[in-house]
Amino acid sequence: MVRRLFAALLAAAVLTPQLASAAAWKPNLKFGNLELHPYYKLAESYDSNIYLVPKDKPNGIRTGGGVRSSWITDNTLGLKAMFPIGKMHKLSAAYNAQILNYTTQSQANDAFNQTANLTYNYKRPSWDAKFWDTYMNTEDPAFSELVERSQRWQNEFGTVMGYAPEGGMLFAEVSAKHANHKYLDSSPGGLGFTLNRYEQEFGIRGGYMIQPKTKAYLGYRRGIVHYSIQPDTKHNKAHYLDAGVEGKIANKLTGRVQTGLSFTKYNNNAVTNAGRPDHVTLWTVATNLNWKPLERTSVDLAASRGLQASTFGKNRYYIANLIGLNASHKLPWKLTAKAGFSAGYDKYPEATTAGGKTANRRDDTYTESVGLEHQCQEWLSMGASYEHKDRNSIFTDQFNYERHLTMLQVKVTF
């Protein structure tokens, strides 16, 4: 597998000078108003810790299957389609199929992941609307607390409708979405037993156009979470208050800065939840910014804070805090250098006993990455990257892990 990827990289490198003379060539994938954009990626990576577990103890005790490394071959094939219908209507769809093959314990680790999306956009001078449906079938964990892989699917559909009088400074939006989450293993010890659920959210948002491309807003959302198997402990309803600014925030700075408050009330049962608080009020953050200090340099900042569903002990949730910084710079010879860093802090509200210790769990997770990409042609790229990830649990070392991930890839996009 490694030799196959190296051969692909070598072929791309050899053909690049020959293809340069045909740089203007592009496949014609338009049929009337319909545009098709297929893509394919071949990646070969080496993962030093595929199960994300701590090192084996000197006395021979190991967590899970122990630290195991593997070569991973990733074949990803996808298609994006766009179909504008006049000036007011636009349909778009996307499909992605990923095949992962492991050299270590392949029967347990090989995976086939799929995602599909359908979106309809409607736009008039003062009105706009968006309807979407997104489906995912994967073995990847749904959030950072979990590291084990388990087959699951989720489907989300929703809408956002907005009104902004032409030439005016005010705007208003209403939104709604419904999501189903289902793990296929719903046995008493499986993730489906604790995580199968549906989530609903309804909201309204309004504000003022500070500039033609910048809006300040206030918003309210109502959330409902209903679990399939554990209704006594995890059913909850929430109120969210949001305030923020989005669009072009400053010169060379675009994105969204949002903060707010959430109030979540759990469906307490007098027997199973005796003495446990039935509500939590939390300061929330949802911020994504892009800064272009130079024409060839881009910096992305992301920060978030909120509640996530938990499977650990009696905890029905944990507080997830995350901040990430990624930068890229275009070098000569069609090269792009990339670097990133993120830090996550997950805090659990209820003390739990594990490994002979009773305490409130906290996980600190750090990720650093670097990469280099060569845009051989507009439709052909190849690159290499390295990522280091480390989690330190301030509770018991059974949740600690360290992983090194090195990757080479070739991508064709039309």
Give the per-residue pLDDT at 345.
95
* CA dihedral over 160, 198, 314, 186, signed as positive or negative: negative
Q: CA–CA distance from 45 to each of 78, 83, 326, 386, 389 (Å)? A: 20, 36, 21, 9, 15
DSSP SS3 for 33: coil
Output the domain CATH number for residue 86. 2.40.160
Give the per-residue pLDDT at 370.
98
**Mean pLDDT, range 362-391, rounded to an integer:** 95
The share of the chain scoring above pLDDT 90, in percent, equals 64
Per-residue pLDDT tens for 309-343? 888 888 888 999 999 999 999 999 999 999 999 99
Distance CA 400, CA 160 (A): 41
> Closest Cα to residue 198, out of 160, 158, 145, 161?
158
Per-residue pLDDT tens for 162-199? 999 988 899 999 999 999 999 988 777 778 888 899 99
pLDDT at 231 over 90: no
Q: How many residues belong to the chain? A: 414
**Mean pLDDT, range 133-155, rounded to an integer:** 88
Range of the domain at 88: 2-413
Give the per-residue pLDDT at 319.
95
Give the per-residue pLDDT at 378.
87
pLDDT at 156 over 70: yes
Give the per-residue pLDDT at 166.
84
User: Range with the lowest mean pLDDT among 209-223, 245-259, 388-402?
Assistant: 388-402
Per-residue pLDDT tens for 108-140? 899 999 999 999 999 998 999 999 999 999 988
pLDDT at 17 over 60: no
Give the per-residue pLDDT at 22.
46
Question: Which one has a higher pLDDT value, 243 or 20?
Answer: 243
Give the per-residue pLDDT at 350.
87
Sequence-ordered strand ranges (E) for 295-397:
297-309, 317-331, 335-347, 352-354, 357-359, 362-377, 380-393
**Mean pLDDT, range 61-76, rounded to an integer:** 88
- Integer-rounded Cα Rg, in Å, for the chain is 24
The share of the chain scoring above pLDDT 70, in percent, equals 90
Per-residue pLDDT tens for 281-290? 999 999 999 9
| Number of domains composing the chain | 1
User: Range with the lowest mean pLDDT among 33-37, 60-64, 357-361?
Assistant: 60-64
